[in-house]
Every structure is written in structure tokens, then in C-alpha cells.
Amino acid sequence: MANDTKERILEAALEMFSQNGYAGTNIRELSASLGLVKSGVYKHYESKEAIWNALLDQMIAYYGERFGSPERLPPVPESLEALTRLTMRMVNVTVHDEKIAMTRKVLTLEQFRDPRARELATKHFLTGLTDMFTRIFTGMMEKGLLRKDDPAMLAFAYTAPISALIHLCDREPEKTDEAMAQIEAFSRHFTGVYGEAGHEQ
């Protein structure tokens, strides 16, 4: 029961932090949204900062399980078409999983206030993606699917526009379908340019 309450507190905190930011969220409102008194929240977390840190820990684990990470790589694609399918699966998760979308909003809001949020924002928006696709592209080059090139530079060139379009979905949700179509078209263009001749698109 205690674990259920702790989980409910973190879920409500994620929603409030993503809407109001850390400074704009107070324990009284958080408690009221859960039908608890403040002491009921403090029974599980000693402070708002403790809730924040527990939430960041949860974000890291949740994101890694559903999206992948440099430590939890998906299998190297067996074809150029499989790269596009993998990309779209990952993009679908990050855009449509409500918890991941709220996490991204929290990190965007709080990266200038909190050192851990800044570190996570850099990892999730830039370095983690680049590292992941550097390894994927290295594997695809070894299989003869992509032409030999600097895999880190290719990964940067591949992930930067995709990441920008994901942020567009956050800012302007009505453009999500258009952005998803753009990402898929970009992935196919990329494999057309960098794929080795003789391998199916």
C-alpha cells in the first residue's frame, strides 16, 4: 500500500512539474490532488527535493526500459528498411508515451535550474542518442549495410533533425502527424544517401 502511495505521489508530481515547473509546484497542491494531507506526502518523502530526486531516478529507469540507451542497445538492424522501422518505433515511443513526453517537458523546463536535470537533458536530447546510433551505425557498417564513414558524425547527422522534430511535437502537438511523416521520409533519404549499393531499401 505504501509503495502504491509513493508511486501515485511521483505520478502526480511528474504531471505538476511538467505543467508548472519545480518552483511552481507546491506540496499542498500536490497533496490535495491525491486526496492526502501534507503530512501524508511527507510520510513517504521528506521534502519536495526528495520527490524531485526520486522522480529523476524513476525517469532514467523508465526511459531506458522503453526507449533504449547506450547501455541497452536494440539489435543492429539487418537491413536499411529495418533501420527506418527501428527509428519509427523509437520515435513512436518517445512521442506517444505520455510519461516520456512529460519527462521531456520537465527536463526542458528544469535544465537551467537543476544540475541533474541539465545532465539528463543533455543525455536524452543529444549525447545518449548520438552514442546509441554511433554503435548501431558501426554494426551496420560491419555488416556492409552502410558505407564506411565516421559513425559518430553519421549518428550526429541522423539524430539531430529527428530530435528537433520530436521537440516540435511537444511544442505544437497538432503537427505531430506531419513531423512523424517527415522523420520517416528523412530516415529513408538518409539510407538512400549512406546505404551501400546492392542492399535493399
pLDDT in tens, 29-72: 999 999 988 888 899 999 999 999 999 888 888 887 777 666 77
**Backbone region of residue 197 per phi and psi (left: phi > 0; alpha: psi in -120 to 50; beta: other values):** beta
CA dist list (Å): 96 to 81, 117, 170: 22, 22, 10
Between CA 57 and CA 81 the distance in angstroms is 35
pTM for the predicted model, two decimal places? 0.81
Between CA 26 and CA 198 the distance in angstroms is 59
3-class secondary-structure state, position 72: strand
pLDDT of residue 39: 87
Contact call for residues 85 and 191 (beta carbons, < 8 A): no
With cell 549518428, the residue in question is 155
Cα 137-138-141 angle, rounded to 5 deg: 85
Give me the amino acid identity at 45. Y
pLDDT of residue 66: 77
pLDDT of residue 5: 87
Contact call for residues 41 and 9 (beta carbons, < 8 A): yes
With cell 512521442, the residue in question is 95
Instruction: For residue 198, give the C-alpha cell.
Output: 546492392
pLDDT of residue 1: 55
Radius of gyration of the chain (CA): 20
Between CA 7 and CA 1 the distance in angstroms is 10
Residue ranges, the chain, pLDDT below 70: 1-2, 68-70, 197-201
Within 13 Å, how many C-alpha atoms sit on residue 63's CB side? 25
Domains annotated on the chain, with CATH? 56-194 (1.10.357)
pLDDT of residue 85: 96
Give me the amino acid identity at 106. V
Q: Name which of 163, 78, 84 is nearest 125 in CA terms.
A: 163
Give me the amino acid identity at 148. K
Contact call for residues 109 and 21 (beta carbons, < 8 A): yes
pLDDT of residue 92: 94
